[in-house]
Structure 1
């Protein structure tokens, strides 16, 4: 019997400090992509909103003996790129470097210093705070972002996904260097972290590099689990005045986590409803047949806990009421009736056809494996993906939507 080759050969091990390491060898280009990611996103802010974002943004702003500018110059001199990131669930850093021995050694050493011994330089803190506050002010000028922030606040209430990951002007301004250091000590630890390596190195090199990058970080403790997200029991509508000829409409509810057993029926159903560009039910009816919006999409954003299910569109203010009614009508019809066989097959073909683009670059592979690692997906998730998509039936989609989506209990946000 022929042995099926894995989609990706993912090697996995754990460092003594509990950091989970994932390695994919790719020899097409002489590069290495690295991501260190921890359960240190804005859900861990507490009441100091913006703490996770500011902590990650300050990581590369100084280490012992090197200023932020010197760090940037050293990476530039070897053609390497480093970036920090933070979102609701997680935070961390990425690195892209050439695998030339000297350049690789320099990049890994510098990456290790940033990760294991940031100074949270007091001279840089006011500038980075100002950048975040400027980003917050920019969001206030964007009706889509205004709607999205309000949607999360209304949907999640007291759950830590509710607030803007950037924080707000008051909380960001009040964050101290000591708070950054404490947050870093608590959450930037081995038991809370994953390290992903993708590129043109051997397994022996990967193990040495992993130990160099993450081996000195204290083991610490895994971040505590939250209580489940509470569902809304009735519909809620929020209307925000915004000086614009267009209105932004968001409609949704608490959706699913990555561990949901009906993940594939729900993903396929969403592809049919509003996920496929140009051919989804929402696009066909709202854009093509009625010309009410340039684009309309629906999306599940499954997070560690139950992320949102969200339908979004922008339309002329004069067409808002019609757009809102039609969106609600189409959603109810889909939940009640499920997809046709033709719609189901079209969605499967789209998802299976799109699947190879997931591996079109090392950067894409890094993102996919990092998601698998952080959300504890099985290592054969990619190998079984096509079968899991192919096996879904119309009844499974219908039943999954009827169980998870409740059109009469939606949060609606209108900005315009």
Structure 2
């Protein structure tokens, strides 16, 4: 009976969505970025309500009756940057959430959520640990799900046999990574760019660190970093303010009690180029270029974001894809991005190329980055990119799952509640000179790390460059 009600709700939602597809485009709802851009899209004016629970948790809530659903996301300062001397501790802790609670086995928990048509998940990143719940918003379904949710987050048991099982799975995953190039070069890049900083450690641990993590360490990590005072509670759904306050209060009381973790030290950029190569018998060479270049709260964030869309983040329209892939066919794929986090964030360019093309691809990519930092985008490139971003951004909070992600980030990084509108306006007004200046302030092309994996280290062609030292090579099984 419960599942039938859930299916009925889904059908009602689908019907509502289809009936809403009428608009200014000859009766058709806009379905492309270009059509959306023609409407002069604005960032959605979300009515974000915020308060703090008695236990110190920050709450962000958006009431939405568009779907008969409730989405909850707990975002704690509990990422791998808090691992300390035990790489993998945060990931292992997160993986064990929902695997057992006082008086409940993992099967009891799974059935409890599934019987009500709800979904529970947990995940771990460098900055944060995330616990998510989605359920129907009607009280008859919502209340038993929330009671189970609070029991799961309030009394995780971290049973020894479950720990052994999950740890074995994680170690098997690490062994499998040694057979493919991607994960190895990613970890080598992170360790190179963030050497000596918590962001440089492998988030999922190592074959040496995971066996040494004990149950009491998981319990202590959870009590410390998933504490109410170290957690943002984001909620979106068909609730009123009083209901939202009651739910947030119960969640906050169920969490361990404690304060916010101290801020991480800001990561410093590399002061000179670093080269690292992993020897691997592959038909392709994977190359990552980058440096520590930004952070959450960087006043240049919008200019860097928009400029990067022109340079390498805008797919086939970007400079790197057009010049390196489309015109010359040097690579199978190439892209760039800035990844701002609380205490830093890399600029990274990623490319995969046939081994014979590696030198040419690397040399051209470095030249294009250098040229872009010096010159910035053209007016035409900026306007095309601006239109694309505004069109995409207007569609970026189309449903509850999109909104909950925005709320979690706004709360965790202590961004203003009108951040989406602010960002939209900044994109509209940023100039080509703003972008050029921002790239020059935050990025020095000559200091970019070059990290690669393949049969041999790619070299920068000598043209008018000074010869560089040959990259030190290491066997693949020694990658961090």
Q: 265, 273, 286: which is aligned to 1:248?
A: 286
Q: 328, 336, 352: which is aligned to 1:314?
A: 352
Q: 173, 187, 195: which is aligned to 2:225?
A: 187
Q: 304, 321, 327: which is aligned to 2:365?
A: 327
1:229-268 correspondence to structure 2 within 5 Å: 229-268=267-306
Deviation of 1:139 after TM superposition, in Å, equals 2.4
C-alpha distance in 2 between matches for 1:52 and 1:399: 38
Q: Could you tell me which residue of structure 1 aligns to residue 458 of structure 2?
A: none
Q: Could you tell me which residue of structure 2 aligns to residue 139 of structure 1?
A: 177
Q: 190, 198, 217: which is aligned to 1:160?
A: 198
Tell me the alpha carbon deviations over residues 280-306 of structure 1, each in whole angstroms, 9 at most, x when there is no partner. Answer: 000000111001112210000000011
Q: Residues 5, 225 of structure 1: CA spacing in aligned structure 2 closer, same or farther, 3 A cutoff? A: closer
Q: Could you tell me which residue of structure 2 aligns to residue 98 of structure 1?
A: 136
1:161-310 correspondence to structure 2 within 5 Å: 161-310=199-348
Q: What runs of 5+ residues in structure 2 fail to find an aligned partner?
A: 1-41, 455-480
- Of residues 184-193 and 248-257 in structure 1, the stretch that sits farther from structure 2 once superposed is 184-193
1:127 to 2:165 alignment: yes
Are the aligned partners of 1:198 and 1:365 in contact in 2 as well (CA < 8 Å)? Answer: yes
Are the aligned partners of 1:109 and 1:213 in contact in 2 as well (CA < 8 Å)? Answer: no
Are the aligned partners of 2:308 and 2:336 in contact in 1 as well (CA < 8 Å)? Answer: yes
Q: 61, 68, 72: which is aligned to 1:34?
A: 72
Q: Stretches of 4+ moved more than 4 A in 1?
A: none
Q: Could you tell me which residue of structure 1 aligns to residue 60 of structure 2?
A: 22
Q: 101, 111, 117: which is aligned to 2:149?
A: 111
Are the aligned partners of 1:358 and 1:368 in contact in 2 as well (CA < 8 Å)? Answer: no
Deviation of 1:350 after TM superposition, in Å, equals 1.0
Deviation of 1:228 after TM superposition, in Å, equals 2.1
Q: Could you tell me which residue of structure 2 aligns to residue 366 of structure 1?
A: 404
Larger radius of gyration: 2
Q: Could you tell me which residue of structure 1 aligns to residue 460 of structure 2?
A: none
Are the aligned partners of 2:289 and 2:449 in contact in 1 as well (CA < 8 Å)? Answer: yes
Deviation of 1:5 after TM superposition, in Å, equals 9.8
Deviation of 1:102 after TM superposition, in Å, equals 2.2
Deviation of 1:141 after TM superposition, in Å, equals 2.5
Q: Could you tell me which residue of structure 1 aligns to residue 413 of structure 2?
A: 375
Q: Could you tell me which residue of structure 2 aligns to residue 88 of structure 1?
A: 126
Are the aligned partners of 1:45 and 1:52 in contact in 2 as well (CA < 8 Å)? Answer: yes
- Of residues 317-326 and 209-218 in structure 1, the stretch that sits farther from structure 2 once superposed is 209-218
Give RMSD over aligned pairs.
Answer: 1.3
Q: Could you tell me which residue of structure 2 aligns to residue 12 of structure 1?
A: 50
- Of residues 295-304 and 223-232 in structure 1, the stretch that sits farther from structure 2 once superposed is 223-232
Deviation of 1:137 after TM superposition, in Å, equals 2.1
Q: Could you tell me which residue of structure 1 aligns to residue 463 of structure 2?
A: none
Per the normalisation by structure 2, the TM-score is 0.84
1:77 to 2:88 alignment: no
Per the normalisation by structure 1, the TM-score is 0.97
Deviation of 1:6 after TM superposition, in Å, equals 6.0
SS at 1:383's partner residue?
helix
- Of residues 325-334 and 4-13 in structure 1, the stretch that sits farther from structure 2 once superposed is 4-13
Tell me the alpha carbon deviations over residues 120-163 of structure 1, each in whole angstroms, 9 at most, x when there is no partner. Answer: 12221111111211222232233122111000001111100001
C-alpha distance in 2 between matches for 1:242 and 1:69: 42
C-alpha distance in 1 between matches for 2:439 and 2:82: 31
Tell me the alpha carbon deviations over residues 185-244 of structure 1, each in whole angstroms, 9 at most, x when there is no partner. Answer: 111112211000111111111111111112233441211122221221110111111121
Are the aligned partners of 1:116 and 1:214 in contact in 2 as well (CA < 8 Å)? Answer: no
C-alpha distance in 1 between matches for 2:294 and 2:322: 26
C-alpha distance in 2 between matches for 1:213 and 1:408: 49
Q: Could you tell me which residue of structure 2 aligns to residue 414 of structure 1?
A: 452
How many residues get paired? 413
Are the aligned partners of 1:17 and 1:217 in contact in 2 as well (CA < 8 Å)? Answer: no
